[in-house]
Amino acid sequence: WRNAMLSVFCSPNRYTQGKNATGVLGQEMAGLDLEGPALIVAGKSAIRQLTDTWKTTLADAKIEHVVFPFGGECSLAEIERAKTVARQHKAQVIIGAGGGKVLDTARVAASDLALPVVNCPTVASSDAPCSALSVIYTEEGTFQEYRFLRKNPDLILVDTQVIAQGPPRLLAAGMGDALATWFEANTCVAGHVRNMRGGASTRSALTLAKLCYETLLADGAEALRAVRNQVVTPALERLVEANTLLSGLGFESSGLAAAHAVHNGLTIAPATLDYFHGERVAFGLLVQLVLEGQPQSVLNQVLTFATEVGLPTTLAEIGLTQLSRELLERIANRATAKGETIHNEPFEVTPDMVVDAIRAADDLGQCWKKQN
């Protein structure tokens, strides 16, 4: 009884989303007793679009702030640079504003300094913002490690007006990340394996993961059209919530499986680094479905959706046009490394099985393209 696995559900303290939400950032922070000075770790487009709004909203809440321009990679060196600037300015809170790597950097820096953190994603390109987890990469962009943090962010603030101005491809990449959530969560729950916080999943987490998948199928294509036209629509609002909140809660509180492990393996191939996290995850999901021997009806549904929103379904579409046997084996070895989430599958997974599944998934995608 004492060794029984407890169910653990984790989530951010508050999630706020909507058009022009940046305008209430100071008010939201004040409402949560978050005080300045604030260090804003920010990507280029966030600085370009939001500098004036930050000045107004944070001044209204009497929160002093300084901006730290993000260097481009969530690496240990970049995290240390952010921490140094935070100490210099005696920051009492760290705000991350930008894409997934910006937010990952802000979360680790805040955690190391024992400071509260606010995440303001400017793209809905991954499910990172809500989690107490950051993905650390080398300076060259190869996956290095998952860093587990003590707590989830204090505030997530998603401005859909900003997201509507972003590249449509980034929104689609977020759908690729979110597409895997339900399948990975389902595998973990069925196998009674531990989630990202070391506990069992709750029914609510699995239900949110399922809602995430259903929302993608229902609203994905229409949300993508909204971003192409740079407009905020109800479909975009629902889709952004799926990419950010539902996927985030689903993966962290239910768990990851083969799709993300294959993604991590793919990052050792330099050619894949020109592609986004969610694009590599989308192909990783096909590999997972092949590994698990999922029925054709499931594969068809995933392939139909991926094609509709422009997600990769072949190796060529993530840069691997010439894939040598040696590189394929290295990818498979990395995907099956000790501690990888592929070992959450309900059977033993060997590198050889992954090699076969990658080739089969690629063939599946190619045949699908010819037929459709």
Residues with a catalytic annotation lie at 177, 260, 263, 277
Q: Residue 279: beta bridge partners? A: none
Rounded to whole angstroms, the Cα distance separating 372 from 143 reads 34
Of the candidates 97, 246, 229, which has an alpha carbon nearest to the alpha carbon of residue 185?
246
Within 10 Å of residue 166's Cβ, how many Cβ atoms?
Answer: 20
The label of the residue with tokens 């894409």 reads 99
**CA 172 – CA 312 distance, rounded (Å):** 10
Residues linked to residue 119 through DSSP beta bridges, in sequence order:
96, 156
Q: In residues, how long is the chain?
A: 372
- Which is nearest to 152 in space by CA: 182, 128, 175? 128
* Residue found by looking up tokens 């802000």 in the block: 106
Are 195 and 208 a contacting pair, CB within 8 Å?
Answer: no
Using an 8 Å Cβ cutoff, are 164 and 265 in contact? Answer: no
Amino acid (one-letter) located at 355: V
Residues 6+ apart with CB under 8 A from 248: 127, 128, 129, 130, 131
Reference 335, options 311, 363, 358; nearest CA is 358
| Nearest Cα residue to 34 out of 109, 102, 95 | 95
Identity of residue 92 = Q
**By C-alpha distance, which of 273, 266, 261, 236 is closest to 362?**
266
DSSP of 101-148: HHHHHHHHHHHHTT--EEEEESS---S-TTSSEEEEE-TTS-EEEEEE
Give the position of tokens 């300084």. 66
* Alpha carbons 210 and 53: distance in angstroms, whole number: 36
What is the C-alpha to C-alpha distance for residues 127 and 10, in angstroms, rounded to an integer?
14
Is 232 exposed, middle or buried, given 0-12, 13-18 or 19+ CB atoms closer than 10 A? buried
